[in-house]
A and B are shown apart, each in its own frame.
Chain A
Amino acid sequence: MRRLDTEIEHGRTVAGDALGDEWAVPAADAVRTDGVPAAEPLYRMDGVGKLFKRRGTRVAALDAIDLTIDQGEFVIVMGSTGSGKSTLLMLLGALDRPSGGTMSCEGRELDRLSETELCRLRGRMFGFVFQSFNLIPTLTALENVETALVPLGVPGEERRERAYAALTDVGLAQRAGHVPTELSGGEQQRCAIARALVKDPHVLLADEPTGNLDEKTRDDIVGVLESVWRERGKTLIVVTHDSTVAARAPRLLRLHEGRIVEDVRQNGTVERAPDGRVADADEGVAFEAGAPASTPAGVTAR
């Protein structure tokens, strides 16, 4: 993979140019250098609820969620069908607004932002990976990755270069000219990950990213996501049913009927190198299963 600091520098410049200084990311926030969370968490949710109307009755998909997530965390969200995990992901990705409570991301109150501002935020800050990949069927892998740079106003030539680099990063460069139907499920998901990463987002949100994949491909994809978290310092939030995937994250949130019923830090201390990377076992920092998390993320499980 290319050097992370270069990419972040590049991404910040583009984001700042395209979206204005308001959205420019402070360098200090982009990468933690000391393993200690910044004073302001990435996300803060206070009493957040989400109601849906179904057949005339209101159903609470989320109920009074209090949650903070720090930058650079790898969080797994689990729960049975209908527990509200996808709804939580939608809120975290600024795809939806809460029905009640307050919610902020990098200090900005998401529930107060206009649709246009949310759209800008999505274009710059979040990368999405979906269970069904959601690639545009008529576009090649390269063009699909390019679509993420279109809202940022990146010129065509640069767009292609960055898209190709993103595909290279996920090991799909040789399939750049193929349309999704010509790609395997794993390749399609790699392409979707490349699309999510090409704009160098702060947060990578994945909704059942391995749900449609076989075991081997699942491991590949989880490996790719994990490396993004480790090497690029991205915040990674993954919704999954798969306990194998869940076991690889330092933090696990479990939802039941719209409430967080469990919030555990399962893999021990997470430390980051000065360049933001998380050290792996080979480098001397182990994920110790069952050990308490050292990150003081303010989590309230309800």
Chain B
Amino acid sequence: MFFTYVWRELRRRKRQALLTSLGLALGVALVVIVSAVTTGVGDAQDEVLESLYGVGTDVTVTKAAELENANVRGQFRMTTDDVEKVGDQFVRDSVLATPGSGNFNDTRVTEVAGVEGVSASVGGLMLTNARVTGDYEWLEARELQAQEQGEGGFGQGPPPEGENGQEERPIEITTYSMAGVDVADVDLGPLGGAEVVDGRLFETTEAKDFVAVVSQSYATQEDLAVGDEMSINGKDFEIVGIVASQSGGSGVNVYMPLTRAQKMVDLEGKVNQIYVRADSAESIPAVKSEIATLLPSATVTSAEDLAEDVTGSLGSASSLADRLGTWLAAAVLAAAFLVAGLLTMAGVSRRTTEFGTLKAIGWRSRRIVGQVMGESMMQGVIGAVVGVGLGLLGAFLVAQFSPGLEASVTTGPQIEEGAGPMGRMAGELLNETQTVTTELTAPVGVELVLLAVGLALAGAVFAGVLGGWRAARLRPAEALRRVE
């Protein structure tokens, strides 16, 4: 009788039942989509962070440079003696440890490894190479002219002008980033999370060798392959491997053994990054805190902190999903609840005679409330099924048609106002702004489906309670008098 009555009533009031169910379905679908996208954005963020940060790295430790070091001033002078001639072009590499970054003695790495909750730590040295290339004859002419004027070389006097008064570009400056990697543990540190596309990673015996691993994007750009040699700061390095970061990130272009990197910039025994792996995810906050105590002047960052600094479309998507999406879903869900409640109450009002009659023949309020609740729950079930279906479809469409997400994290130095041209150029060019692109997914798990079903049923209970409350308050005499 109960189910027959429920089902027939819903069929009789098809439009209202459909509206209520669709309202709940829409709210539920939005929750599914927003939650799926939020999860997808979170996954993308994790992927990006792993790519920028290194898989398996839980905490990184860096240090801001002393003020005088950060304020990179200088004159950009260059003579034919300083450059390497390649054909009719000159090439000059200027390798710097990341400006603005302070250095640690590598003994600190061992100290950090001794912190409770730390399972491993390695040091890394992030470098940037500013490569200046240009016409060799032009450089010779400029050098001769400078000598006649009693100046030292290129970098003095007004910039050369072209035929139309436009500034000529006789030289080209390109930069790429490099990382010194501790060959004893390549899985932790800059190479963690990198996928070997060709060749191999470093071996533990190659600590002092002139070997390099390059990123796939850089190898493609410079037409490099495993077995080739590349010149860095006048030294030839053999390329032993090509790696692709998980998301095709363009963070570090060239990796070399840590010892080689240290020697290249005269920073033997120094590192500017310490990568830490914690025992477990739960111990990360404690590890952070311990390291901060151990190294008070250092900046201790976890992936979670870095996530807050992510900019670009991924950052926007994350913000959009967190704020607008959540609020939109909540608002639609609340509206759906309200509409369902109001429609159910209106439905009860229209059925005053019916419920009055049932009360007259002895139906207790409890039973009538149960009937109203049953009808509401049935609408909730329909809403849940349709809502989950719509949500799955929406999540699929979002994942299918969303553009790739781009994430940038800038961890470079702050260059002071008034820094010299070289300093500004170095600061701007050598800032560690790493950009990674990734695809947005919108995974819908069992938990999310259960949440959606639960929400739809909660909406139905809410509507049923409102309608039931109204039905329970009906006094049979009044209900019948209204009609008779």
Query: Cβ of A1: which chain B residues have Cβ within 8 Å of it?
Result: none
Closest to A86 in B: B484
Q: What are 23 A-B pairs at a CB distance below 8 A?
A: A86-B484, A95-B477, A96-B476, A119-B359, A119-B362, A119-B363, A120-B362, A122-B360, A122-B476, A123-B362, A123-B363, A130-B357, A130-B484, A132-B353, A132-B484, A134-B356, A147-B1, A147-B361, A150-B367, A151-B364, A151-B367, A152-B362, A156-B1
A146 touches B1 (CB 8 A): yes
Cβ of B220 < 8 Å from any Cβ of A?
Answer: no
List the one stretch of A135-143, A262-270, A283-291 in contact with chain B.
Answer: A135-143
Query: Cβ of B354: which chain A residues have Cβ within 8 Å of it?
Result: 134, 136-137
Cβ of A66 < 8 Å from any Cβ of B?
Answer: no
Closest to A122 in B: B362
Contact of B362 among A130, A137, A148, A156 (CB under 8 A): A148
Given contacts A130-B480, A132-B353, A132-B484, contact A96 B360 (CB under 8 A): no
What is the minimal beta-carbon distance from B70 to any residue of chain A, in angstroms? 80
Query: Cβ of A73: which chain B residues have Cβ within 8 Å of it?
Result: none
What is the minimal beta-carbon distance from B60 to any residue of chain A, in angstroms? 68
Contact of A147 among B11, B358, B480 (CB under 8 A): B358
B1, B353, B354 — which one has the most chain A CB atoms within 10 A of its CB? B1
| Complex-state Cα separation, A106 to B262, whole angstroms | 106
Contact of A151 among B8, B11, B361, B475 (CB under 8 A): B361
A138 touches B12 (CB 8 A): yes
What is the minimal beta-carbon distance from A213 to any residue of chain B, in angstroms? 15
B484 touches A195 (CB 8 A): no
Query: Cβ of B360: which chain A residues have Cβ within 8 Å of it?
Result: 93, 95, 122, 126, 128
| Complex-state Cα separation, A152 to B361, whole angstroms | 10
A116 touches B5 (CB 8 A): no
Cβ of B481 < 8 Å from any Cβ of A?
Answer: yes
Query: Cβ of A93: which chain B residues have Cβ within 8 Å of it?
Result: 360
Query: Cβ of A152: which chain B residues have Cβ within 8 Å of it?
Result: 362
Query: Cβ of A159: which chain B residues have Cβ within 8 Å of it?
Result: 1
Closest to A160 in B: B1
What is the minimal beta-carbon distance from B360 to any residue of chain A, in angstroms? 5
What is the minimal beta-carbon distance from A117 to any residue of chain B, in angstroms? 11
| Complex-state Cα separation, A196 to B357, whole angstroms | 11
What is the minimal beta-carbon distance from B200 to any residue of chain A, in angstroms? 75
What is the minimal beta-carbon distance from B380 to any residue of chain A, in angstroms? 20
| Complex-state Cα separation, A260 to B357, whole angstroms | 27
Report the count of interface residues on A (CB-CB < 8 A).
37
Cβ of B9 < 8 Å from any Cβ of A?
Answer: yes
What is the minimal beta-carbon distance from B181 to any residue of chain A, in angstroms? 76
Cβ of B280 < 8 Å from any Cβ of A?
Answer: no
Query: Cβ of B1: which chain A residues have Cβ within 8 Å of it?
Result: 143, 146-147, 150, 156, 159
| Complex-state Cα separation, A30 to B356, whole angstroms | 28
Cβ of B281 < 8 Å from any Cβ of A?
Answer: no
| Complex-state Cα separation, A123 to B477, whole angstroms | 15
Interface bin, chain B: 20 to 34
| Complex-state Cα separation, A138 to B277, whole angstroms | 68
What is the minimal beta-carbon distance from A196 to any residue of chain B, in angstroms? 8
| Complex-state Cα separation, A216 to B359, whole angstroms | 31
Closest to B362 in A: A123
Cβ of B4 < 8 Å from any Cβ of A?
Answer: yes
B476 touches A138 (CB 8 A): no
Query: Which of chain A's residues 242-284 have a Cβ closer than 8 Å to chain B?
Result: none
B4 touches A139 (CB 8 A): yes
| Complex-state Cα separation, A150 to B371, whole angstroms | 12
B484 touches A143 (CB 8 A): no
Given contacts A130-B480, A138-B8, A143-B1, contact A96 B361 (CB under 8 A): no
Cβ of B446 < 8 Å from any Cβ of A?
Answer: no
Given contacts A138-B11, A139-B4, A150-B1, contact A123 B361 (CB under 8 A): yes
Closest to B479 in A: A95
20 further contact pairs, Cβ within 8 A, besides A123-B361, A131-B484: A86-B484, A90-B477, A90-B480, A93-B360, A95-B360, A96-B475, A96-B476, A116-B364, A119-B362, A119-B365, A122-B359, A123-B362, A126-B360, A134-B480, A134-B483, A136-B5, A136-B354, A138-B11, A143-B5, A208-B484
Query: Cβ of A127: which chain B residues have Cβ within 8 Å of it?
Result: 361
Query: Cβ of A115: which chain B residues have Cβ within 8 Å of it?
Result: 365
Cβ of A70 < 8 Å from any Cβ of B?
Answer: no
Cβ of A200 < 8 Å from any Cβ of B?
Answer: no
Contact of A86 among B12, B364, B481 (CB under 8 A): B481
| Complex-state Cα separation, A254 to B362, whole angstroms | 29
| Complex-state Cα separation, A159 to B2, whole angstroms | 13
Chain B 1-39 interface 0/1 with A at a Cβ cutoff of 8 Å (1 = within): 100110011011000000000000000000000000000
| Complex-state Cα separation, A116 to B358, whole angstroms | 14
What is the minimal beta-carbon distance from B473 to any residue of chain A, in angstroms? 11
| Complex-state Cα separation, A120 to B359, whole angstroms | 10
B8 touches A139 (CB 8 A): yes
Cβ of A12 < 8 Å from any Cβ of B?
Answer: no
Given contacts A96-B477, A132-B483, A137-B12, contact A143 B4 (CB under 8 A): yes
| Complex-state Cα separation, A119 to B367, whole angstroms | 12
The 8 closest A-B pairs by CB, nearest first: A123-B362, A138-B8, A96-B477, A151-B362, A134-B357, A95-B477, A90-B477, A95-B476
Closest to B6 in A: A138
Closest to A91 in B: B477
What is the minimal beta-carbon distance from B3 to any residue of chain A, in angstroms? 12
Closest to B9 in A: A138
Query: Cβ of A128: which chain B residues have Cβ within 8 Å of it?
Result: 357, 360-361
B362 touches A134 (CB 8 A): no
